[in-house]
A and B are shown apart, each in its own frame.
Chain A
Amino acid sequence: MTQSPEFEPQIVAFCCLHCAYAAADLAGGSRCGYPSSIKIVAVPCTGRVDSVHLVKTLEDGADGVMVAGCLPGRCHFQTGNLHAKQRVDHVRELLEEIGLEPERVRMVNVSAGMGVQFAENAKDMSETIAALGPNPLRVPKSQASTTDAALEGTN
């Protein structure tokens, strides 16, 4: 894949308020920081993140999507993070069918205190996406779908 040197990945991270969101906060406030390519969307639980959200985020042009939930067994709603993992796996299979790299979607697990680990995960994701290059769906803007148009309004 050809890739312009100035490519800066746009990654949406759905972060659980109980863990990853706090971890991101911690990382942001400390020396370790995380790449600016990561755009955080807070969710009450990763169990709230549906497959549709992941697919639409990519359709709308994000280069990558990260779902960050609590450590296994530590979900405030028992199994929300496990459901999220199943959906991420499902969407990765679907991406393969669609013709996009499954690596563009990833699930990670951190606790509220794991700021360093969050930053590491974010950096790794960012590097993966940088290597993959931009989301090919973002390039031709001419044929924007209905949802593209809708999201452009909100951006």
Chain B
Amino acid sequence: MIVAERKPLDDIIEMLGGQGKVLAVGCGTCVAVCFAGGKKEVEMLASSLRMSTNLKGNKLEVDETSVQRQCEAEYLEVLDERVKDYDAIVSLGCGVGVQYLAERFPEKRIIPALDTKFMGGPTEAGVWEERCQGCGSCVLGITGGVCPISRCAKQLMNGPCGGSKHGHCEIDEDVPCAWQKIWESMEKLGRLDELMQVSAPKDWSTSRDGGPRRVVRDDIRTPKTEDS
């Protein structure tokens, strides 16, 4: 899932500026399961925005709603009429959701309420960890199911580096060393010999370095008719 976290209240209020009528829009997918942008979080944020601006003497009018998924235009249709009544929209979606709202409602100011953090999952209740950076050319098949791109602080392809200690990374005792994990996993799989090969430089052109990316599936696209 995409993991996000609420921005400081003051930052959101500053972006909103002055008085007005605001619609806070949650998203029922990734950010709902990581407790950042679901219905309850929308309620909390709307309440907090009202209270905080009220205390400062220029109370914002904040209404609440939530859609199943902000990152698909179809799910935003339900807002088409409603947004007309508002001066701005506060999105509790991930960065994708915010942009889909901005694309659909170009005449409205769209404010992100969340900081989108990473693709990952919970490791225990209340703790989420990064697992993938969307490098566009997955190497998990040769690294024992542990991603060195997102989980090694230096994105090594031939780790571990000399900073690995007691299973954690040199940058932080709370961060497990990805390469220690890769090593253990490959050992269990009886494939340690593969780690002895020097792996070639990664082709980053499939990653963000190649520019904004796009996936096209001709079998799914809307068919072109004769006359179009």
Contacts and interface: CB of A to CB of B under 8 A. Distances in A.
**Do A and B touch (CB < 8 Å)?**
yes
Interface of A: 50-52, 55-56, 58-59, 94, 97-100, 136-137, 140, 143, 145-147
Contacts of A94: 9, 44, 48
Contact of B48 (A98, A136, A140): A98
Given A97-B9, A98-B9, A55 B55 contact: no
Contacts of B48: 55, 94, 97-98
Interface residues of B, number: 18
A10 B62 CA distance: 25
A55 B47 contact: yes
Tell me if A's interface is mostly helix, strand, loop or mixed.
Answer: helix
Nearest to A83: B125
B43 A52 contact: yes
B109 interface: no
A136 B8 contact: no
Contacts of A99: 51-52, 55-56
A126 B54 CA distance: 24
Nearest to B8: A97
Contact of A137 (B8, B44, B51, B62): B51
Contacts of B63: 146
